[in-house]
Structure 1
C-alpha cells in the first residue's frame, strides 16, 4: 500500500460560501500552500466559522497537522469556540500551530509584564481586576507621564490607549487625553474616572490590562521581526501612526506608511536578529516554560525604538508579540514555514 503524504490543514475565518469555494490557489495563503506541497506535504483549506465548527473539527481530526490564521477579535467574533476545538485536535495527537495554550503564554499583552526584566523590557505594570486598576493606575499615571494601556487580547489596535494629562488637576476632576491605536481614531478629552470605567470591560473573562510608558521615538517607526520557531525569517519596517497625535484641524486621520519587507540577512537589522535568536527567544522560552517544539511555525515580535544607549546605538522595546494570525509575511517566510512543518513532522514520527 502506497504511503500518502501528510495532510496539513490551513485554517482561516470565513463564511459557508468561502468554505465551499476555497482551494489552495484562491486565497492569500496560496504561497504557503505551494511551499508545503513542494516539500512533499498535502495542504488543504479548512475555512472556519462557529456556524459549522463541528464540520471543521471532523476535518481537523482527519489530518496530520493544523496551521491556524484566526484573529482573537474579528467583527465581534472571538476564538471562544475555536480554541477548545484546537485543544481537542491537539489532544488527539495532531500538531497544532499555534496551540491555544502557547498563544496564552506569548501571544497576549501579559507577556510584556512577564518578560519585562529581559533586554527588550521596560517599566511595566499589570492590573488583573478593575479594583486593582482603579487603585494603582492613578498614582502611577499622575507622576510617570504619558502611559500606554493595553487589553490582554486583541488585534488591530483595539483596546490599546495612549493616556496623558490634558491639564493640571486643581482639586476637582482630572481631565485626560486618550487616543486609541485603532485605525481612524482621534484624541478624546475625558475625565480620568470615566475612562477607568470604560476600561472595566477589559477585565471580563479573566482579562487584564498592561500599563507601560509611552515611547517617545514612536514616530521613527516600528520593526516587525518575523520568526519561524527560533529562527528569524525576515523583517518588516513601517512608519506607524497608531498613538501618534494627528495634527489639529480638519482632514483625514493619520494613515500608516507601507510596511517594507526585508530578508533576514538585511544589514540594518543584524543586531536585532542576533539578540532575537541568541538571547531573547531562548530567554523568553525559559521564562514562559515553552519548549522549542511548541514554538509557533510563524510568529512575530514588534519592536519600537528605545532610548539610545551610552554609545549612541539603538535599543529596542518590545511592543507586542503576534501569534494568532501573522500575515502579511516576508517573501522568504512561506518556504521557512514549510521547512519547519516538514522537520516537525519528521521529529514527531521518529
Structure 2
C-alpha cells in the first residue's frame, strides 16, 4: 500500500512535459484538522489511493506545508501526471493563497488538476449563487457583500423583507451559515419592507453547523460577521430563507459530469432547525439519480447556463449541487439551488457504493485524454 510522502528536500527533478507519462497521481492533504481519522488521512483518501493502484497507476499522498512549496513543486512535476486536491480550505496552513498558487503552477507545468483553483473558485465559491441569480435556479434577491461597509449599510434593510440566510465563503459543514430572523414576530409582521432596522433590534440567529440559536442585537451580530468578509476570498452571501428546507435539502453528488446518487437530507425536528448536516442530527436518505429524474433533468438542462455564468465548463472531479424545495405560482414543486461544493467534497458515508472507484476511473480518463490531445 502506498504511504504518504513528505517531499524530499534535496535534488532537482525533471519537469513534466506534454510527452511524459508517469501513470502516477499525487493526492494532496494537509496535516491535522477535524476531517482526519486515526491514520492522519481523510477517511476517503486511502480508498481513492487504493482504487488508483488497482487500475495499475501509482498514487501517493503528499502533505502541503507552505515552507515545503518549492520542494513539493520539484518532486511532483518530476514524478506525476496529475493531482487530486483533498484539502479542506479551512485547514490550509497559511491560508488559501499559497496553496492555490502552487496548484496553479503545477497545472502550468503540465499536470492535470483535479480540481484546479479556477474550478474551485468558479463553482465552489458561495457567490456562484449571485452569478446565477438571473436564472431560474436562484432567487433574484440573492446578493453578496465583499466589504464590511456595504454589509453594514445594506443588511438592516435586507432583513426587513423577511428571514434571511447569511453564508460565509470559508468553512464547511454549516460553519458560518446563519439563519437570521427577528425575535419579535409582531414586529416582523408589521415592519415595512425596505425599512432599515435599528441596530438594537433583537434577532434570532441559528447556525447551520449544529442548529444552535443565539439571541443578539442586529448591530452586534453584524460586527461579529465582519470576520467572514475580511481576508483572502472573504465574502458573505445574503439569501432569502426557504421555509421548505424543513422538508429536506436534496444533494446531487457528481463525479465529473456523472450524477452518482441523490441524498435527501432532512433536518432534525425543532422550531428553528434548518441545517442538513450530519453534525446537526439531520437524517440522510440515499437514492439513485433516476428516483429524482425531474431534478436530474432540470440540472442537466441548466448546466450550459451554469457554465456560461460561472466562466467555463471545466467540471470539478468531485462536486455537489444542493437544492431546496420551493412552490411555483401554480402550486407545483420546484427547486432552488442552495450552493455548489467542489473544494473538498467528502463521501465517507458512501464508500460502500464504490464512489472511490468512479473517482479513480474519471481521474485516469482525464489524464489520458490530456496526453492524447
Q: Please give the range of the TM-score, normalised by the shorter of the 2 chains.
A: 0.7 to 0.9
The Cα offsets for residues 280-328 of structure 1, whole Å up to 9 and x where unpaired, read as 222111111213xx3111111111212256253x211111111111111
Partner of 1:56: 72
CA contact (8 A) 2:90 2:171 kept: yes
Partner of 2:297: 274
Question: Residues of 2 paired with 1:106 and 1:243: CA distance?
Answer: 32
- 221, 224, 227: which is aligned to 1:198? 224
CA contact (8 A) 2:23 2:58 kept: yes
Question: Residues of 2 paired with 1:159 and 1:76: CA distance?
Answer: 19
Kindly report which structure 2 residues correspond to 1:170-185, keeping only aligned pairs within 5 A, or say none.
173-183=200-210, 185=211
TM-superposed deviation, 1:172: 7.9
Partner of 2:311: 289
TM-aligned CA distance change 1:65 to 1:242, over 3 Å:
farther
TM-superposed deviation, 1:75: 8.9
Question: Residues of 1 paired with 2:253 and 2:217: CA distance?
Answer: 39
Question: Residues of 2 paired with 1:343 and 1:52: CA distance?
Answer: 30
CA contact (8 A) 1:225 1:236 kept: yes
Kindly report which structure 2 residues correspond to 1:193-232, keeping only aligned pairs within 5 A, or say none.
193-205=219-231, 206-232=233-259
Partner of 1:13: 30
- 92, 98, 116: which is aligned to 1:99? 116
Partner of 1:344: 366
TM-aligned CA distance change 1:286 to 1:4, over 3 Å:
closer
TM-superposed deviation, 1:244: 6.2
TM-aligned CA distance change 1:164 to 1:219, over 3 Å:
same
The unaligned stretches of length 5 or more in structure 2 are 1-19, 192-196, 274-278
The Cα offsets for residues 200-224 of structure 1, whole Å up to 9 and x where unpaired, read as 2222135221111111011111111
Partner of 1:249: none
Name the stretch that deviates more: 336-345 or 68-77.
68-77
Q: Classify the secondary structure of the residue corresponding to 1:259.
A: strand
Q: Classify the secondary structure of the residue corresponding to 2:367.
A: helix
Task: Give the alignment's TM-score, normalised by structure 2.
Answer: 0.79
- 296, 316, 324: which is aligned to 1:304? 324
Partner of 1:43: 59
Partner of 2:130: 113
CA contact (8 A) 2:90 2:172 kept: yes
Partner of 2:282: 257
TM-superposed deviation, 1:53: 4.3
The Cα offsets for residues 241-293 of structure 1, whole Å up to 9 and x where unpaired, read as 499625xxxxxxx932343333334x2x111111222x1222111111213xx
CA contact (8 A) 1:72 1:154 kept: yes
The Cα offsets for residues 116-167 of structure 1, whole Å up to 9 and x where unpaired, read as 222321130222211111112211211x110001122321212211111112
Question: Residues of 2 paired with 1:271 and 1:50: CA distance?
Answer: 45
Question: Residues of 2 paired with 1:244 and 1:286: CA distance?
Answer: 39
The Cα offsets for residues 158-212 of structure 1, whole Å up to 9 and x where unpaired, read as 22111111123897831111112122x5211111111111122222135221111
Question: Residues of 2 paired with 1:236 and 1:150: CA distance?
Answer: 21
Question: Residues of 2 paired with 1:339 and 1:270: CA distance?
Answer: 25
The Cα offsets for residues 83-107 of structure 1, whole Å up to 9 and x where unpaired, read as 1111111111101111112111110
The unaligned stretches of length 5 or more in structure 1 are 247-253
- 132, 137, 143: which is aligned to 2:155? 137
CA contact (8 A) 1:234 1:332 kept: no
- 332, 339, 345: which is aligned to 1:326? 345
Across the aligned residues of Structure 1 and Structure 2, the Cα RMSD in angstroms comes to 2.9
Q: Classify the secondary structure of the residue corresponding to 1:89.
A: helix
- 32, 36, 45: which is aligned to 1:29? 45
